[in-house]
Amino acid sequence: MAIRIALSIAFAAAVVGAAPQPQHKRLAGSVVQNCRFSLGPRVYNLCPLFAGSDHHEWTVALETQTPPTLTTMTYRIALDGPLKLDARLPEHEQCEKGTWVCMTATNRRPEHRSEPDRITQLIPVVSNSTVSNKDGRPGAEAFGIFALEGAAGADKPGSLQLVMRGGYYVDKPQRSLIRFSCVGAASSQHKPTYAWSWNGTHTFDWKTQHACAHAQAHKPEPEPQHGADDPPDVESPPKDGEQLLPPVGPRISLLGVTAAIVCTASALCALVYALMHPPAFARQRLAPYARKLGRAARRLRRWRGRPGEVKLIRWAEEDLPVFGLPDDIDTEDGEEGEMVNAREMAEGDGVEERIPLKPSPGLGFGYGAVPKTGR
């Protein structure tokens, strides 16, 4: 049975490993400079989205009710280079130089309109500055822009996604994810919209007709090798009540995780099978040790169930006041006291009154001079 389970797990891992991996490509420079690219046999052309000088930077805002205040998250997104600093604001109220995507959280009290907005968070979501990527920051990721396709359906390719990484905030790497949707001209949007933010991933949706893929007329480019240019794993938002788990590192692939699970499960199944059905030579070598262990366990059970001599003496000393006898039972004449029925039993049976440390089953008596009676 264990061998069947191990073979089933190995077969499932082989199926997962043989499944086609999503196409991806690292974009050198900016998205605007590489607005036309191919992923496997499909070609994407995002250049119409960036027509005009004012279509290289977008602002996405989201207001959240946080009574008694109102919190606003404002994203500034640049796809043609780092954001420009605002000369009207001090540097400590802006994202660091070299930031491509910046999130600013402000807080205000609606009933106090004369008060200025207060900045509560300043997150460089995507940055190529040396400050974000310097050593000493656990989990820090190098700056990079990746184009990839999401999970493919049965009858259509996966949707286009742009992953931009390199930010860092409060001991956690940050990244931006733009999910494109191929729609008709009537449903196209001129800028992305906020979707969700979780575990350092800030996600936006962009519905546009320019995100539709076209088949290549010539031989597709060779797929990139897995290595340092692999994009970080794209995460999904947690469901209600779902336990939040730490994210999988950018260098850990799904195949590696599956292989580790298969190896661990196979090793456990083999160990259980070996313990339940050991081979003949193992039984011969381990039989003496098993017998010794069984004898030791039986002696331990007998020893733990029998009261020791020290405990018997302590019990006898504790029982003296219960029978109305003082701790010191010497009489005025210096003679030692005795129990009420001890002399008669000693004279009748010829047994001396005493409190033994252990019962004497051979004499037919219990503790002291009290004979055993049938029950």
Q: Is residue 20 in some structural domain? A: no
For residue range 30-67, what is the model confidence (pLDDT) as tens digits? 899 999 999 888 899 999 998 876 678 899 999 999 99
Residue linked to tokens 């033994």: 356
Do both 312 and 214 map to the same domain?
A: no
Residue found by looking up tokens 């974000």 in the block: 132
- 329 in the same domain as 194: no
Residue 164 vs residues 95, 167, 199: alpha-carbon distances, Å: 16, 9, 15
Q: What torsion do the CA atoms of 77, 78, 82, 83 make, to the nearest 10 degrees? A: -60
Structure confidence at residue 227 (pLDDT): 47
If asked whether residues 211 and 320 sit together in one domain, one would say no
What pLDDT does 164 receive?
Answer: 94
Residue 332 pLDDT more than 60? Answer: no
Domains contained in the chain, number: 2
- Tell me, yes or no, whether 334 and 189 share the same domain: no
User: pLDDT band at 346, cuts 50/70/90?
Assistant: very low
Identify whether 366 is part of a domain: yes
Q: Residue 61's pLDDT is what?
A: 94
**What is the mean predicted confidence (pLDDT) over 85-97?**
89
Q: What is the mean pLDDT of residues 14-18?
A: 46
With contact defined as beta carbons under 8 Å apart, do 244 and 201 qualify? no
pLDDT score at 331? 47
The end-to-end CA distance of the chain, in Å, is: 53
Asked whether the predicted pLDDT for residue 155 surpasses 50, the reply is no
Which one, of 149, 129, 145, 147, lies nearest residue 137 by Cα? 129
| DSSP helix, strand, coil percent of the chain (3-state; round to 5) | 25, 25, 45
Same-domain check for residues 62 and 180: yes
Q: What's 241's DSSP letter?
A: T
> 256 or 94: which carries more pLDDT confidence?
94
Torsion of CA 103, 163, 151, 204, to 10 degrees: 30
The region that residue 217 occupies, defined by phi over 0 for left and psi between -120 and 50 for alpha, beta otherwise, is alpha
User: Do both 200 and 54 map to the same domain?
Assistant: yes
> Does residue 300 belong to any structural domain of this protein?
no
Does 209 fall in a domain? yes
In this structure, is residue 282 part of a structural domain? Answer: no
**From 100-114, 218-232, 302-316, the region with the lowest mean pLDDT:** 218-232
Boundary (domain end) residue, out of 220, 248, 278: 220
Compute how many other C-beta atoms are within 10 angstroms of the C-beta atom of residue 39: 22
Give CA–CA dist 152/7, Å, rounded.
28
Give the model's confidence band at 17: pLDDT under 50 very low, under 70 low, under 90 confident, else very high: very low
Highest mean pLDDT among 1-5, 60-64, 246-250: 60-64
Q: Within a domain: residue 289?
A: no
pLDDT tens-digit readout, 106-119: 999 988 888 888 99
Extract the tokens encoding 232: 């970080």
Q: Which domain holds residue 335?
A: 307-375
| CB 150, CB 182: distance < 8 Å | no
pLDDT of residue 339: 52
In a domain, 167, yes or no: yes
Confidence bin at 76 (pLDDT 50/70/90)? very high
Determine, yes or no, domain membership for 196.
yes
More confident residue, 241 or 224: 224
* pLDDT of 276 above 90: no
Q: Which residue has the tokens 């500034």?
A: 76
Q: CATH number of the domain that 54 lies in?
A: 2.70.130.10
In this structure, the answer to whether residues 65 and 188 fall within a common structural domain is yes
Residue 375 CA to residue 130 CA, distance in Å, equals 90
CB-based burial of residue 124 (10 Å sphere; 0-12 exposed, 13-18 middle, 19+ buried)? Answer: buried
- Average pLDDT over every residue of 158-178: 91
244, amino acid identity: L
What is the sign of the dihedral through the CA atoms of 246, 247, 252 and 256? Answer: positive
Q: How far apart are the C-alpha atoms of 181 and 211, rounded to whole Å?
A: 6
Among 157, 190, 220, the domain-final residue is: 220
Last residue of a domain, one of 182, 201, 220: 220
**Residues 216 and 350 reside in one and the same domain:** no
Instruction: Write down the H helix ranges in the chain.
Output: 2-18, 254-276, 280-305, 309-319, 342-349
For residue 64, the 8-state DSSP code is E
